[in-house]
Structure 1
Amino acid sequence: MIDELDEQYGVNNCCRAFGVNRSSFYAWLQRQGKVNPAREKLKALLVKHHRASRASAGARTLAKQLQENGHRVGRYLARSLMREAGIASRQRRRHKYKSPSVEALVAPHVLKRKFDVTAMNQVWCGDVTYIKVGKRWLYFAAVLDLYARRIVGWSLSMISDATLTCDALRMAVELRGWPKDVLFHSDQGCQYTSHKFRN
């Protein structure tokens, strides 16, 4: 029977070409279509751990997690199970915060962590963060009234520069009716310590 298959499909030549033993090929052939309940259970656990990691875990991590649960799994078996389950590790690209090279003028720390403000428009705080939108990063600047704990101005941009923070402050000033003697507190990032923002 084996000789007939060899003649019909050229199995011998294929095995020789790929450096695979014929016995290994026929053992693999016999396994096709047969369900291994223990392997399927292990695969289901691996998929569960993979989902819990938000698809970021790779073969090494998944093997370690399964080992901690008492399963004898190496990273090569974990990789094979991942391939069978059709899953792969998807690492989120780390965001590289690009700061423009502008001059930094350090302002005195007037607030000194006294966050108990007694009136509106007494202390505003500003900060910049980034948000992933699709495949791109957007920078978000906000101005918060410390008394109301409410955002009173904001701005979005593709570039994290002084214009971003100035636009957020301008919105706050206009919405609050150009208040006087407001203390503005920030982390003194380059966007806030730039000449443009301070002016």
Structure 2
Amino acid sequence: MNELFTRGRSAPGSRSITVMMQEEGEQIGRFKVRGLMRELELVSKQPGSHAYKKATVERPDIPNILNREFDVEAPNQVWCGDITYIWAQGKWHYLAVVLDLYARRVVGWALSEKPDADLVVKALDVAYEQRGKPQGLLFHSDQGSQYASRQFRQRLWRYRMRQSMSRRGNCWDNAPMERVFRSLKTEWIPTTGYMTGQQAQRDISQYLMHHYNWIRPHQFNDGLAPAKTEEKLKTVSGIS
């Protein structure tokens, strides 16, 4: 216990310290830990705020075509995209994900130290290649500057995709993406983040492309995982 409290003036939060000490066999509660931290003048070290900001200007040139019509008839008709932040290697990293709305399957993702247009373009490129280069689909996102950038819009044009954007400040216009990130953060990512960016890459890939797509039951699919729902569609329709 003494070693834990003599490493310096910065420390994890009282809850994290309590859990660590209890795992080592110490009988101690959070209030006792808080008292010890005050006595030793230890300050909880918390992650700083993430860098990207929400849109402050409406984009009337990119309408909300999807308009919460989240039920679609087949794969590769409507994709959604969004960005969230992940704590790794002592700083924020940014995760962009592309979701096929038909069965809520993750079809592309990218992780970067910068929340820029390159990040969302990379996630889109991965999805485009993995799904056999589909055309004519609708891509929906929030009004983040990355999705409104010339670089991203040119990529959509090259792939013959239409663009739709949520209304400013209305997270429910992209609710399926919010649910993916909520599941990822509450079910999988360690509360203290990742030690390295490489560890984050491996672990997030394992969750999105394997656990979420193939194993985790999804309420939208009546308990079937997204990838298995698509497999069932192929069996029923005879699609190869």
2:130 to 151, 175, 178: 175
Q: How far apart in 2 are the matches of 1:79 and 1:180?
A: 57
Map of 1:155-170 to 2, 5 A cutoff?
A: 155-170=110-125
Q: How far apart in 2 are the matches of 1:94 and 1:123?
A: 35
Q: How far apart in 1 are the matches of 2:34 and 2:101?
A: 51
Alignment CA distance shift 1:90-1:55 (3 Å): farther
1:90 to 18, 26, 44: 44
Map of 1:69-88 to 2, 5 A cutoff?
A: 81-82=36-37, 88=42
* C-alpha contact (below 8 Å) 2:78/2:137 kept by paired residues: yes
Q: Which runs of 5+ in 2 are unaligned?
A: 1-12, 19-29, 155-240
Give the Å deviation of 1:141.
0.7
1:115 to 55, 63, 70: 70
User: Which structure ranks higher in relative contact order (CA pairs < 8 Å, sequence separation ≥ 6)?
Assistant: 2
Q: Which runs of 5+ in 1 are unaligned?
A: 1-49, 57-64, 67-77
Q: How far apart in 2 are the matches of 1:116 and 1:143?
A: 16
SS in 1 for 2:44: coil
SS in 2 for 1:192: helix
* C-alpha contact (below 8 Å) 1:55/1:90 kept by paired residues: no
Map of 1:1-199 to 2, 5 A cutoff?
A: 51-52=14-15, 54=16, 81-82=36-37, 88-98=42-52, 106-199=61-154
Q: How far apart in 1 are the matches of 2:149 and 2:34?
A: 51
Specify the code of the residue in structure 2 equivalent to 1:175: Q
CA RMSD of aligned residues (A): 3.2
Q: How far apart in 2 are the matches of 1:92 and 1:119?
A: 44
Alignment CA distance shift 1:79-1:135 (3 Å): closer
Specify the code of the residue in structure 1 equivalent to 2:133: W
Deviations 1:119-170 (A, max 9, x none): 1001100001111112122111110001121110111111111111001001
Give the Å deviation of 1:115.
0.7
Q: How far apart in 1 are the matches of 2:110 and 2:34?
A: 45
Give the Å deviation of 1:116.
1.0
TM-score of the pair, normalised by structure 2: 0.46
* C-alpha contact (below 8 Å) 1:55/1:88 kept by paired residues: no
Deviations 1:6-41 (A, max 9, x none): xxxxxxxxxxxxxxxxxxxxxxxxxxxxxxxxxxxx
Deviations 1:29-76 (A, max 9, x none): xxxxxxxxxxxxxxxxxxxxx744x359xxxxxxxx97xxxxxxxxxx
TM-score of the pair, normalised by structure 1: 0.55
The structure number with the bigger radius of gyration is 1
Alignment CA distance shift 1:197-1:136 (3 Å): same
Alignment CA distance shift 1:51-1:130 (3 Å): same
Alignment CA distance shift 1:133-1:116 (3 Å): same
SS in 2 for 1:170: helix
SS in 2 for 1:181: coil
Give the Å deviation of 1:193.
0.3
